[in-house]
Structure 1
Amino acid sequence: MYSMISLFAGVGGIDLAFEQTNKFKTVFSNEFDKNANRTYNQNFNITCNPEDIHELSTDNIPKADILLSGFPCQAFSVAGYRKGFEDERGDLFFETLRFIRDINPQVIFLENVKNLVSHDNGNTFKVIREALISHGYHIKYQVLNAKDYGNIPQNRERIYVVGFKNKEHFKNFVFPDPIPLTKSLKDVIDFESKIDDRYYYTDDKYQFFPILKESIIDQNRIYQWRRKYVRENKSNVVPTLTANMGTGGHNVPLILSNHGIRKLTPRECFNIQGFPENYHLPDVAISHLYKQAGNSIAVPVVRRIADKIIEAIEECNDNLEKEQITLF
C-alpha cells in the first residue's frame, strides 16, 4: 500500500480516485474551506487538517510515497483574472512546492485547469515545470477531457501533471488512452422524479421564464440561460461544472424534466463528476455543495491515471525481480 499526502484536498475527489485502486491510502490531507473539509471528513477515515496552508508546518507531516495537489486554479482560469502568479492565489503552487521539497515523495500528482499551459504565453507553466524538475522530478503532463477519458457526460478539460523521482518509473508511465463515451445524461441526471420545488424555474419566480419554456424542449439536451437567451448544448454532455453554479445568474445548466424546467441538484453534479452513489453529502447550504462539486475533479479520469502510475511502478519492480532471479 502506497501512502499519500493530499493538499488542497477539497472534498477528496483525487484521494478517492487513488484509493479506488486499492493500492493507495491517504495518511494526511489539508483543506482550508470549512464546508469542503466537513464533506471530506464524512467520507474518509482520517480527519482532514483545516489549517491555512501558509501557516502549516511540514515538520509534523508524515512522509509519504506520493503527494497529491489540486491547488486552486482560479488564478489561471478563463473565469479568473488571468493574473497567474501575480494573483495571490498563484502562490499556492509554491506552497505545494514547499511540501514537495520537505516531504520528498517518490511521485507527485498535480491537477489544474487546461489554461495553465497557455497562461502568460506559457511562462507560468514553464516556471512550474522547471521548479519540479529542479527538485529532481521527471515530468509528464497532458490535458484530458472527462468525456473522452472518464466515460462521463461532461465536457471538462483539465491538465494532469505526473512526476517521478525514479527515471525508470517515469519511462514506464503513459497516460491512459481515450475510451468511448457510453454513459448518457440519463445515467447521471434524474429526469423522472419530482424533487424539491426550489430547483424548478417557474413563471412566478423568473421573468425570463417564457423564453426558457419556448427554448427548452428536449430531454436529451443541456441548456444554459445566457442573460438574454438560451444556449442549447447539442453535444449531449454537460458543460463544465463551475464553482458558482449555486449563486444564480447565467450559465447554470438547465434540463427539461418530466416535471418541468429545472437546474441540476448537487447530487447530480457529484454524479456528473463521477462520485459514487454512496458518497455522502452533508446537510449544508446547497450553494456550498455546488461549489464543492464545481471545484472537484472527474473521479474516473484520475482513477485511470492512478492505475497507470501503479503499472509504471510495478512493471519496474517486476523487471527488477526477474533480473535478480537471472543473477542467481
Structure 2
Amino acid sequence: MTALFKNWKFVDLFAGIGAFHVALKDHGAECVFASEINPDAASVYEINHGLKPNGDITKIAAEDIPEHDILCAGFPCQAFSISGRKLGFDDTRGTLFFDIVRIAKHHQPRVLLLENVKNLESHDRGRTFTVMKAALEEIGYRVYHKVIDASDFWTPQKRERIFIVCLRADIQLDHAYFWPMKGVAKYRVDDLVDLGVQRPMKQEYIPEGEFDGRPDRIARVGRFKNGTQGYRVYDPRGLGVTLCSAGGGGGANTGLYMIEGAPRVLTARECARLTGFGDNFSMHPNEKKAVRQFGNSIVVPVLAAIVSTFSLQLDRHYRRTAGIALPAA
C-alpha cells in the first residue's frame, strides 16, 4: 500500500457500515469524523471501526467537523435510483448532496470521493448531474466521474455505480486523470458461498435451462411463481445479481441461487463477502438487517482500487511540488 495517506485525515459522511473507512484505513488514512443517521448502521460502524458516528448531517455545522484531507460520501441514492420514484432534488434525500457542498466549501479538503447509483448521470436528462458538477466546480474542484461495475474488481456481484473524484483546483496532475484498470482475475458466486446451508423455498421451483458455462455473466436457470424480481433463480457458477436493501419476493435482497441442488437466498455472511467485507467483520445480529446493510453498502474492492489509483497520481503531484525527483511515468 502507498504511504501517501499515512498522515491524512478523512471524514465519512452517510457512512453506512463503513466501506469508505475500510478502504482508506487500509491505505493509512485516519477517520476523524463519521455521520450516519440510521442507528442500526451506526451501531455496526462503531463496533467495527471504533468510532461512534454523529447523526443527522443537516443539523451539524461545518465548523464543528474536524479538519480533513479527504471527504467521503455515499450520499442517499433513492432520489435518483431507477427503481425508485426518481424525484431528484424534489426529494429531500436528493438535497443532502448540498450538505456535502456546504462542508467541502468550508474545509476545502484536497479530495472528495463520492458514490451514487448509475442513474444519477442520466437523471432528468443529465440536468441533475450537470447541476451537481457545477456546484462542485464553483467551490474550487475539478470533477471526474465514471460508472464502474463491481464485477470488474475482484467480486462476483454485478453492481454498477457512479464514482466521483473531485481534486482541489490547486492540485495539478502531470497527465489526464485516470481510473483503475479492471482486475484480471474473475470470481464466481460459488467461490464465496458456504456449503451445508439449508434454506428451502416453499413455492414450487420451475427450471428454465442449464448453466451455459460462462462465469462472466448472470446465468438464470429457473424461477418461482411468475419469475419477477425476487423469484428468479441463478447458477452460482456465474456472477451474482446486485444486492439490494428492499424489494418484493423471496430473493429480493440477495437473489436466489441453485446451491447443492436446491435454490436458496444468500446468508448475511455471504453478502458480506460479495461486498468485499472480510469474515472478521462484525455484522448486525439480525440477519435480515445485516443483509439489507450489505445491500446498501459500497463494494470495498472498488473503493480500494480507486483510492490506490488516485493516490499514485497525487503522490506525483506532491513529490513535484516538494522538488523531489519523480520516477519515470
Report if aligned partners of 1:246, 1:288 keep a CA contact under 8 Å in 2. Answer: no
- Whether 1:65 aligns to 2:60 is no
In the aligned structure 1, how far is the partner of 2:25 from the partner of 2:94? 28
Report if aligned partners of 2:205, 2:224 keep a CA contact under 8 Å in 1. Answer: no
Partner of 1:209: 204
Instruction: Return closer, same or farther for 1:123/1:308 CA change in 2, 3 Å cut-off.
Output: same
Structure 1 residue runs of 5 or longer lacking an equivalent are: none
Partner of 1:168: 172
> What amino acid sits opposite 2:37 in the alignment?
F
- Whether 1:21 aligns to 2:27 is yes
Instruction: Return closer, same or farther for 1:134/1:224 CA change in 2, 3 Å cut-off.
Output: farther
> For 1:215-254, what aligned pairs fall within 5 Å after superposition?
215=208, 221=219, 225=223, 228-229=226-227, 231=232, 233=234, 236-244=238-246, 248=250, 250=252, 252-254=254-256
> For 1:72-87, what aligned pairs fall within 5 Å after superposition?
72-87=76-91
Q: Output one character per residue of 1:117-154: Cα deviation in whole Å (capped at 9) or x when no partner.
A: 00000000000000000000011111111111x11111
> For 1:130-169, what aligned pairs fall within 5 Å after superposition?
130-148=134-152, 150-165=153-168, 166-169=170-173
In the superposition, the TM-score normalised over structure 1's length comes to 0.86
Q: Residue 72 of structure 1: CA displacement?
A: 0.7
Q: Residue 232 of structure 1: CA displacement?
A: 5.2
Instruction: Return closer, same or farther for 1:316/1:118 CA change in 2, 3 Å cut-off.
Output: same
Instruction: Return closer, same or farther for 1:251/1:69 CA change in 2, 3 Å cut-off.
Output: closer
In the superposition, the TM-score normalised over structure 2's length comes to 0.86
Q: Residue 318 of structure 1: CA displacement?
A: 2.0
- Whether 1:293 aligns to 2:298 is no
Report if aligned partners of 1:13, 1:298 keep a CA contact under 8 Å in 2. Answer: yes
Instruction: Return closer, same or farther for 1:278/1:80 CA change in 2, 3 Å cut-off.
Output: same
- Whether 1:89 aligns to 2:93 is yes
Report if aligned partners of 2:223, 2:232 keep a CA contact under 8 Å in 1. Answer: yes
Structure 2 residue runs of 5 or longer lacking an equivalent are: 1-6
In the aligned structure 2, how far is the partner of 1:102 from the partner of 1:91? 18
Give the SS at the match of 1:256. strand
Instruction: Return closer, same or farther for 1:34/1:137 CA change in 2, 3 Å cut-off.
Output: same
Report if aligned partners of 2:234, 2:256 keep a CA contact under 8 Å in 1. Answer: no
Identity rate, percent = 32
Instruction: Return closer, same or farther for 1:103/1:222 CA change in 2, 3 Å cut-off.
Output: farther
Partner of 2:15: 9
Q: Output one character per residue of 1:41-99: Cα deviation in whole Å (capped at 9) or x when no partner.
A: 111022211x2122122222101001001001011111111111111211111111111
Q: Residue 227 of structure 1: CA displacement?
A: 5.0
Instruction: Return closer, same or farther for 1:228/1:68 CA change in 2, 3 Å cut-off.
Output: same
Q: Residue 10 of structure 1: CA displacement?
A: 0.2
Instruction: Return closer, same or farther for 1:224/1:83 CA change in 2, 3 Å cut-off.
Output: farther
In the aligned structure 2, how far is the partner of 1:224 from the partner of 1:128? 42
> What amino acid sits opposite 2:123 in the alignment?
H
Report if aligned partners of 1:138, 1:163 keep a CA contact under 8 Å in 2. Answer: yes
Give the SS at the match of 1:77. coil
Q: Residue 101 of structure 1: CA displacement?
A: 1.6
Which moves more between the two structures, 233-242 or 7-16? 233-242
Give the SS at the match of 1:74. coil
> What amino acid sits opposite 1:281 in the alignment?
M
In the aligned structure 2, how far is the partner of 1:35 from the partner of 1:246? 22
> For 1:176-195, what aligned pairs fall within 5 Å after superposition?
176-190=180-194, 192-193=195-196, 195=197
In the aligned structure 2, how far is the partner of 1:297 from the partner of 1:155? 12
Partner of 1:38: 43
Matching residue within 42, 52, 72 for 1:47: 52
In the aligned structure 2, how far is the partner of 1:302 from the partner of 1:132? 21
Q: Residue 226 of structure 1: CA displacement?
A: 6.8
Partner of 2:314: 313
Bigger proportion of residues as helix: 1
Report if aligned partners of 2:233, 2:256 keep a CA contact under 8 Å in 1. Answer: no
Count matched residues: 310
Which structure is higher in RCO with an 8 Å CA cutoff and minimum separation 6?
1
Q: Residue 258 of structure 1: CA displacement?
A: 2.4
Report if aligned partners of 1:224, 1:252 keep a CA contact under 8 Å in 2. Answer: no
Q: Residue 270 of structure 1: CA displacement?
A: 1.1
Q: Residue 319 of structure 1: CA displacement?
A: 2.2
In the aligned structure 1, how far is the partner of 2:225 from the partner of 2:107? 48
Partner of 2:267: 265
Instruction: Return closer, same or farther for 1:322/1:249 CA change in 2, 3 Å cut-off.
Output: closer
Which moves more between the two structures, 84-93 or 173-182? 173-182
